A and B are shown apart, each in its own frame.
Chain A
């Protein structure tokens, strides 16, 4: 079990593009701050569909149970129903 760090703590880790080590912190992820979740997977490798090859992540990222994207993104003209699990940087989490 992990706890998502506070908004204040996470904000400090982000650059001007809301990223940490390349990992984007999406607007809709703020609502999970200070809550506890179960880690369901550690992401060490991922398949890039566009480049059609496997990559390793530059550091472990975490998938938390039930936390999926609702698809509302400013740059999209429609709501995306892909329902991807959010990727969480280890510095955004602490052991609960």
Chain B
């Protein structure tokens, strides 16, 4: 038996043709925005001669389900992201900034996940899910949000483990 994620196209119906073209237009605008953002970051880093912060964080292999963690500040996380808004391959999307500075309980650490885009099982490390921290599905310019409520993927270096309830 497969899972609902691999089976999800079966429950979907195409939107109207006008909405499909609208989505394509939005994607194009988002792509252009991404390219401008990427160029801006590259130039900024060239001027300041800095590179994305790669941390050797002692969180690794320590954070486990049930632990309390604090999401680092927006400034700290921004400093770690590359020009594509990623850190070691893990995307940090705009909607995740609202969780910065707050404390959450770890739901689980991710070792394998089914990658819907690639349609295969992928191995990963240093990725954490936080309890009740799910995607709202809202995207700028889209009329409707995605209702799937997926858990965000958090790189351990974006988190600080809180010992015995204190930071």
A51 within 8 A of B: yes
Judge whether A35 is part of the interface by a CB distance below 8 angstroms.
Answer: no
Q: Given contacts A47-B148, A78-B112, A83-B151, is CB(A56)–CB(B15) below 8 Å? A: yes
Interface residue A87 (Cβ < 8 Å from any Cβ of B): yes
A73 contacts the other chain (CB 8 A): yes
The closest CB in chain A to the CB of B7 belongs to A24
Chain B residues closer than 8 Å to A41, beta-carbon distance? 147, 149
Q: Do A49 and B3 touch across chains, with their CB atoms under 8 A apart?
A: no
Q: Is the interface of B mostly helix, strand, loop or mixed?
A: mixed
Which chain B residue has the least Cβ–Cβ distance from A27? B1
Chain A hits for B113, CB < 8 A:
80-82
User: Are B3's CB and A69's CB within 8 A?
Assistant: yes
Q: Which of A24, A47, A57, A75 contacts B4, CB < 8 Å?
A: A24
Q: List 11 A-B contacts (CB under 8 A).
A: A18-B1, A23-B11, A24-B1, A24-B4, A26-B3, A27-B1, A54-B23, A69-B3, A73-B1, A75-B3, A80-B121
Stretch at the interface among B33-41, B52-60, B81-89, B137-145: B137-145
Instruction: Indicate if B80 sits at the interface (CB-CB under 8 A).
Output: no
Residue in B closest to A59 when the chains form the complex, CB atoms = B11
Interface residues of A in 26-48 (CB under 8 A from B): 26-27, 40-48
Chain B residues with CB under 8 Å of A7's CB are none
Contact between B10 and A46, CB atoms less than 8 A apart:
no
* A80 contacts B3, C-beta separation under 8 Å: yes
**Residues on the A chain within 8 Å of B1, using CB:** 18, 24, 26-27, 73-75
Does chain B have a CB within 8 A of A1? no
**Which one, B42-50, B94-102, B103-111, B159-167, is touching chain A?**
B103-111
Alpha-carbon distance between A80 and B148 when the two chains are bound, in angstroms? 17
Q: Mark B123-151, 1 if CB is under 8 A from A, else 0.
A: 10000010000100100001011111111
